[in-house]
Amino acid sequence: MRLSTKLLVTFVPLFIIAIIGSYELTIQASEEQMLEQAKDAAFQKAHIVREALVSQMVDKYKVEDSFLNKIRTAGGLLDLYIRIRPDNLHLLEDLDDDTTRATRLNARMREAMSKGSIGEEVFSTGTAMYVRREEDFEAIIPFKAERKCQACHEVEVGHILGVAHVKLPLTEINQSIRANSNRTAIISLGFAAVSLGVGFIFYRSLIQKPVRNLVTATEELRKGNLNYDVGMKKSSDELGILAESFDRMRKALKQSQDALRTSTVGQIAQSLIRDFRAPIREILSSVDQLQRSGSDDQRKQAFETTKNSVQTMQKITQDLLEFTTGDLKANKMSARVPQVIGYVEQMVRPDLEREGIRLQVQQGYTGSAQLDYDRVTRALMNIINYSINYVPPDGEITLSTANENGKLVITIADNGSGIPAAFLDKVFEPFVKIVQERGVGLNLALAKRTIDMQGGKIEVQSTEGKGTTFIITMPIQ
């Protein structure tokens, strides 16, 4: 996914979660606040009723039923009633003997009991209760005796004389809470949309465009275009610093490439001039011999020398062309390994005989393998031509094959002077010439590239004064 998509997928759910969380928290906080306000309102109304009841008892020694009926739904209340226990009032003896009062108290007690038993425990606990329902809120508040209550009741201060049930409506409050929460959610949603829009605009101008420029510049750099300019304005932020660092890296790479190209061209030119001198001298000598019109054998030898010299120059230029253009493509097919080794033997034996070097061939594997016939034979010849530089006259090179665990193993070993240990890890690098070898120093570099390209590997083992062994391992299938 693109970076913008990742940010969108990340932040949009976060905004949605934040809005939902804000909505729920707003409702929860509003409900808690509403409950606290309902508790205060219920307590205030119960306090007023208690004071009115006390005043009536002090003045008239009774509570009028008409008063209780008036306050029941006054001030927007759903209900307000007093729960009493006649035997818990402990009225004075002259008041307690009033049969009319007893009848009235019993009627009030039965009315309260008809509404349920909720609140009975307040008589024993003396602690207010609060019941929250979906549509209403009920506060059950105890009436505790004060000193002035002792004018009518034989009780101690703090004794529970009765319990006031105050029921408040919550429908409008709940609607108000929902409306406020919805309004908060809409505002939050609008704010989130605006924030996302503004953020997207800033993202495109401050992040996406510079990043896209850097990606394009990286692709151009990968293609080898070191002249591509990032084209970003200088800034002190992280992307600006990154772009500036990238541009410095591009310029440094271009300078290094130019220096390497100059150095490589110089190396190639020096190698070509140096390596072409010998075959050119031989060609000139042969032409001079032909001009003097010697014997037929001399002319034949001159023609042969000229031909070999031209072939040497052709090989050098072909190696250089293949390496510099990278024109190496594997064309694998089934090939008989003995035929591959036989062809290599046929091609290198004349050169080895001229140098006085013996060639031993051991065909340990006589089956077939999937390989590029032309490239593999060329790689083996390159390795043998490289080995010639380290093998003195009367020396020996052994070319052998074997099948080891389903792998084709080709070994080229010599008993020459060996490769110095300091240069052993550089033998496969191009243009590395440890001794004055023939060619431009590409024999082993091309051989390694050929073997690697076909899924094989090449290793070298060498001990100074004892010889060198090249081990090539390739898949048979």
Structure tokens at 469: 């062994």
Cα 389 from Cα 352, distance rounded (Å): 11
Average pLDDT of the chain is 79
Q: Specify the pLDDT at position 1.
A: 63
Task: State residue 294's pLDDT score.
Answer: 62
410 pLDDT tier (thresholds 50, 70, 90): very high
Per 3-state DSSP, what percentage of the chain is helix, strand, and coil (rounded to 5)?
60, 15, 25
**CB neighbours of 26 closer than 8 A, spacing ≥ 6?**
180, 181, 184, 185
Question: How far is it, in rounded angstroms, from Cα 321 to Cα 307?
Answer: 21
What percentage of the chain exceeds 70 in pLDDT?
Answer: 82
Q: Which two tokens stand for residue 358?
A: 């013996």
- Note the pLDDT tens digit of each residue in 318-332: 666 666 665 556 778
Please list the residues that pair with 163 across neighbouring strands: 83, 142
Q: Tell me what pLDDT residue 444 has.
A: 83
The model's confidence at residue 356, banded by pLDDT at 50, 70 and 90, is very high
Take residue 424 and report the two structure tokens written for it.
Answer: 């052993």
Model confidence at 395, in pLDDT bands (50, 70, 90)? Answer: very high
Q: How confident is the model at residue 228 (pLDDT cuts 50, 70, 90)?
A: confident
pLDDT of residue 240: 74
- pLDDT value for 435: 54
| Residue type (1 letter), 466 | K
> Band of the pLDDT at 4, cuts 50, 70, 90?
low
Q: Which amino acid is at 16?
A: I
Query: Picking from 63-67, 371-375, 439-443, which range would have the lowest pLDDT averaged per residue?
Result: 439-443
pLDDT tens digits, one per residue of 286-326: 777 666 766 777 777 777 777 777 776 776 676 666 666 65
Over residues 152-200, the pLDDT tens digits come to 888 899 898 888 888 888 777 777 777 777 777 787 778 777 877 777 7
> What tokens does 82 get?
């007093």
- Output the pLDDT for position 264: 59
pLDDT digits (tens, 9 = 90+) for 92-147: 776 666 677 778 788 888 888 888 888 888 888 889 888 888 788 888 889 888 88
| Per-residue confidence (pLDDT) for residue 412, from 0 to 100 | 95
Q: 3-class SS at 349?
A: helix
The pLDDT score that the predictor gives to residue 291 is: 67
∠ Cα 236 238 239 (to 5°): 95
- List residues bridging with 412 in a β-sheet: 399, 470
Residue 261 has pLDDT above 70, yes or no: no
Q: Report pLDDT for 138.
A: 85
**Which two three-digit tokens encode residue 125?**
């606990």
Confidence class of residue 354 from pLDDT cuts 50, 70 and 90?
confident
